[in-house]
Amino acid sequence: MTEAQQAILSPETVLAEMKKNGVTHVVWLPDSETNFLYLLMKAEPSLTLVAVSREGLAFSTAAGLAVGGKHPIILIQNTGMMEAGDSLRGWGLGLNVPVVMMVGYRGWTRHGVNTDTAATYTERFLNAFGINYYLVESDADAPRISAAFEEAKKTKRPVAVLVGDEYHGFH
């Protein structure tokens, strides 16, 4: 097994975290950092996948689910998260939605110089909205996903999990 393979965040781990934390619905728009989850999520009977066409719609959908007593997770990319700022503000924060958003951290790297402005502004964006975040890179970081769920539930606010997995995706 190569170092890269050992370092990956496996889809089984992410799915196990979702199930452990009672997720009922995955509100998502595919991205290159989290695409590896799709087939497993689709095959998981306890999850309903709700595909949206723009990331802003994910926050309002999640708000409706949460008001109705369900436990959604949002799965989007950092680029779309930034486009969805007003929806995050109005629906996510405005309706006190205790939701975890797993965000594909496009452009993130720990081994070189960042050349992607999507990565440049990701954490600054989250800081501007006062959204706490946890970086996950590999299976060893799985407890951080549960920490994000616990924090969202406790604070009744969105909490981000940044998927900084360099070895998946197409970039």
Partner 1 sequence: MFDTAEMLKIFQRYRGDAIVIPGRGGRHWNKISTRPSLDLPLGDPAMGGHASFALGLALARPERKVVLFDSEGDLLMGMGVLATIAEQAPRNLYHFMLDNECYATTGGQPVPNAKNVAYDAIARGAGYGRAYAFNNLEGFAIQIEGILRDPGPVFVAMKVVPEVINEPIGRRARWQTRTRDQAVKELQTELGVAA
Q: Which residues make up the interface to partner 1 (CB under 8 A)?
A: 25, 27, 48, 50-54, 56-70, 72, 86-87, 89-91, 94-96
| Shortest distance in whole angstroms from residue 65 CB to partner 1 | 4
What tokens appear for 23 in the block? 């997720």
78 or 87: CB nearest partner 1: 87
Establish how many alpha carbons lie within 13 A of residue 157's alpha carbon, considering only the half-sphere containing its beta carbon. Answer: 12
4 or 49: CB nearest partner 1: 49
> Is 103 in contact with 163 (CB distance < 8 Å)?
yes
Closest C-alpha among 157, 161, 159 to residue 143: 161
The C-alpha angle 115, 14, 71, rounded to 5 degrees, equals: 110
Residue with tokens 């009672």: 22
Cα 46 from Cα 3, distance rounded (Å): 33
67 or 140: CB nearest partner 1: 67
Give phi and psi for 135, each to the nearest 5: -90, 130
| Shortest distance in whole angstroms from residue 38 CB to partner 1 | 15
| Shortest distance in whole angstroms from residue 143 CB to partner 1 | 26
| Shortest distance in whole angstroms from residue 149 CB to partner 1 | 16
| Shortest distance in whole angstroms from residue 169 CB to partner 1 | 23
Give phi and psi for 61, each to the nearest 5: -65, -45
68 or 112: CB nearest partner 1: 68
77 or 87: CB nearest partner 1: 87
Can you tell me whether residue 159 is helix, strand or coil? strand
If residue 25 lies in a helix (H) or strand (E), which one and from where to where? strand 25-28
